[in-house]
Structure 1
């Protein structure tokens, strides 16, 4: 690539033909993972520009194998900024404003920002972020959920010369709230663009919420920055997405004085998605230019790295150290222009491919970088569908020539868009591993489907006049690792692995879960979860690393069901300490007031978890006056229901704790009761009758009988008299007018004291029972 402030390149461009310059300006696209991982969710962390023009062009590219159209929603800072409807044969692009993904301002680095993108679709889809500025372009490929994790090591193209036009940059995007990130392991001599150094700040720690991002940058004019941040360790307590590379870089002086001048940027993958064996296929540049090869980064101490079939390691690395494998390690596989390289290690490594897609005389302008997926027999057998394979947003449309490179297991039948590959297309052996072969298909364009009868991954090398780009796609999620499909808490959390395996068996704390044989599982309790997957054939089943489900310690909720008076209101308090509150009333506060009877719910957000709590406000049940016992002008009020303790009154003004009232006058009397809710009292009106205490049935018409016929209108009226032994000697009915004359079976009873009971049921809702009891003296003449 050419920069205006680099004089010898400027002179060279001025002497080039107009046609050459026009092609260069339009087509200077960097190589990278053009195509991404098929998934339902994708994240893109932002970056810091070192070289700035006002010609930024950028867009998302979406494609899928789903025949039925579905909607994809694009978010920035948790806010939907647009949608796209995609289906097989109908890929879409979506233009992105510059400031949502990159900044050229120093104030945009080393601070929390809202840059970054998140996409969510109803079905799995591929997604790339493709961008360009004047004379430069690049592509970030989302690895979906395979691209988010908690531990990463950085990589970028080692700079061969200092220049203010170069930099290294790492962008970090949080996928959950309260994500703490620590960056360490860089060289003490590194000088960051905010003025700090690796010596003064050997670690940096920051906290991000979901959708927030943080960008780290070092300028390329500092000699210690040429390689000093390669292998830096990024650790987070929750999943993050990482973008790293050089916004502009140059990694060799071979090739007309400045080879590989371009943007080198890609989305990284977490350590758990790495492997120990890789195959890299060369792009367009001659081997002598040293534009192609790989940067290998170790994740553990004493990692030995081998190339092809060599038995002696090319390098032995400790954690965070890197080695640049040169282009001379590529081996020609008996066909002009078809080169591949096997990279094998004793422990997990990152392989960051450096490549060129240019043509004759322009190789040195077309650098780019891709993270390469490791070989494993769990790779998918089909890559369907990659849309717009030869499209990059630029100020003028471009149509490059694209070569498709394919790596698959030996003995497989491979097709591209239904055509079986053969002849000069391949297969070609991989030196050092006879189980794998490679293919090349020239002049592909449009939408591409690659299918193999065995595990497969693929990529491209593309160019037009002075420009090239390329990259690998698919394979990262094929390394069996559990990811969260949805939610952060139980209930609501869903775990998943890739949906391309033949069988699944989930386990909890090492024990198989009966019936858990799908690619997703909803955990019901905290603990350690694994899943054993298989693809059949000679590939043995493998069990994922442990995924620990932890129940976060939530703030205490104060919500509890309430009972209130029918005409009252109350306040509902969800409890302090939550990050967000979302009531079904529309309120977003901790409490809601003036709440009447009804059913309510609130969604509480805390630490990336969201739980729905339901609460009901009911009308408090009224107490019921079930019975009033009357005896000698004394009333005892019997109450049930409601909420004790009860209060009693006969005038609704003066209240007492006792349910007994004495010295009641004859006539109508209303008794009031209220319970602990202190609602409007319930009441019952009672007739206080005049009780006759003695009768003398001697015929003088004075107290000859005791009669309650005036109470005949009362419901369930009963009047009974008993002797001292409890024998019933009189039962009042409508036929005898509830009147007793001191006789039993028409015979006079002996003089003495007799027990009486008078009862009825009041005609009210409560059917209050009224009961009079006492003694009556009978004096009969013999």
Structure 2
């Protein structure tokens, strides 16, 4: 099915942006199946957006001297502009495949000024974006917040055993002599469940971990959800769940994001409801990283779950109405991951949510890359909802009347979801 891309940009009005703005980004590009609208893993783009300063952006593969013919990619991006660089010709050098193998595919993006950056797998029927987290994406300890929700099973493209759609986590080292310890609660390629194993990586080297056994790869119960990644030097980790079915229709879609280490996590999160069909199982997955973590919803003092490290609670958001009661507030007694699976119709994607204690931003740059439905999700402290200004080539506005109180926050937080047409937010133009 064709996937209409949902852009959910969550902005916090505060001091400065820490989640996705920076001058250095690392990523292990994912292995996306070629079988979904063959060739399903292309085109591939790297998207860069500048703020008030122009930037010279250099893209390289430190572990692969032959990348791009031996010459790093250099992009000159004016202030308040966006570049969508086509990298499809480099696909064989980008995708981190096969699993259980040290590869040299780590991508390094360096800039002379602050930018936002994301990697885009943009096949018409199976697109998603991988928002790079910059310095906030680097760390020493990660849990893998993949789901095991049975209705979100992977599409089975058998008998093409070499091009399966599966769930994985992908690691890239930022320094030489990096030792990575991985512990998975389920079998993964080359390693038995509950048996820690070690991978040795140098700067720019990558490793993909997954279950790709043809008979079971599409079963969410075999996803390495709750796996632990420990490293002696900073690494970046991303998660992928390819060609995921949605129970409300015949769609199956790619879901990607880069996660953050446990020291970046918080205890309070808000998810703004998307536009999935009724019965689409819009979900907020809350994963614990410490034992005896209690989870609360919308300020209710009675916990809905008590979790051990690596376990998650799924909060079903189908009961919400996007035009009224448009958000859910989830808190925990200890730091947790929050993964939001959302979309519209039966087309879905996922994103890691920033905690409410995230420093936030007074300015956010973005670019609409398709003419398909486009939504802006905003979360703001009460009292600031009338302070938004949109600078760009379109006619978009952010009226204070679009915001609604987030339940359980005592009116302290307000949320909005606003849809824009291509006159209000034109395609391929920076805001």
- TM bucket by the smaller chain? 0.7 to 0.9
1:273 aligns with one of 264, 267, 271? 264
2:134 corresponds to 1:144: yes
How far apart in 2 are the matches of 1:295 and 1:176?
32
How far apart in 1 are the matches of 2:147 and 2:93?
25
Unaligned runs of 5+ in 1: 2-23, 358-362, 392-397, 450-782
CA pair 129-44 structure 1, distance change in 2 beyond 3 A: same
| Equivalent residue number for residue 94 of structure 1 | 85
| Equivalent residue number for residue 414 of structure 2 | 437
Query: Displacement, 1:50?
Result: 4.5
2:388 aligns with one of 391, 415, 420? 415
TM-score for the superposition, normalised by structure 2: 0.83
Render the CA deviation track for 1:254-293: whole Å, top value 9, x for unaligned.
Answer: 314x5x621111101111111000010011113x313312
Q: Secondary structure at the match of 1:89?
A: coil
CA contact (8 A) 1:171 1:215 kept: yes
CA pair 228-60 structure 1, distance change in 2 beyond 3 A: closer
In the TM superposition, 1:75-114 aligns within 5 A as 75-78=60-63, 79=65, 80-96=71-87, 97-102=90-95, 108-114=98-104
Q: Secondary structure at the match of 1:146?
A: helix
How far apart in 1 are the matches of 2:76 and 2:178?
32
2:52 corresponds to 1:66: yes
How far apart in 1 are the matches of 2:10 and 2:397?
23
| Equivalent residue number for residue 406 of structure 1 | 378
Q: Which structure carries more strand by proportion?
A: 1
How far apart in 1 are the matches of 2:23 and 2:270?
28
Q: Which has the larger radius of gyration?
A: 1
Unaligned runs of 5+ in 2: 12-18, 66-70, 158-164
Q: Secondary structure at the match of 2:198?
A: strand
Which structure has the higher relative contact order (CA within 8 Å, separation 6+)?
2
| Equivalent residue number for residue 15 of structure 2 | none
| Equivalent residue number for residue 168 of structure 1 | 167
Query: Displacement, 1:98?
Result: 1.4
In the TM superposition, 1:206-605 aligns within 5 A as 206-219=199-212, 221-222=215-216, 225-226=220-221, 228-250=223-245, 254-256=247-249, 261-286=252-277, 288-328=278-318, 330=320, 332=321, 336=323, 339-357=326-344, 363-364=345-346, 366-376=347-357, 378-383=359-364, 385-386=365-366, 388=367, 390-391=368-369, 398-412=370-384, 413-418=386-391, 421-422=398-399, 424-426=401-403, 428-433=404-409, 434-443=411-420, 444-446=424-426, 447=429
TM-score for the superposition, normalised by structure 1: 0.47
Q: Secondary structure at the match of 1:133?
A: coil
Render the CA deviation track for 1:44-87: whole Å, top value 9, x for unaligned.
Answer: 113233453325111111111134x3311001135552110112
2:121 corresponds to 1:131: yes
Q: Secondary structure at the match of 1:289?
A: coil
Q: Secondary structure at the match of 2:388?
A: strand
| Equivalent residue number for residue 68 of structure 2 | none
How far apart in 1 are the matches of 2:105 and 2:4?
25
CA contact (8 A) 1:356 1:367 kept: yes
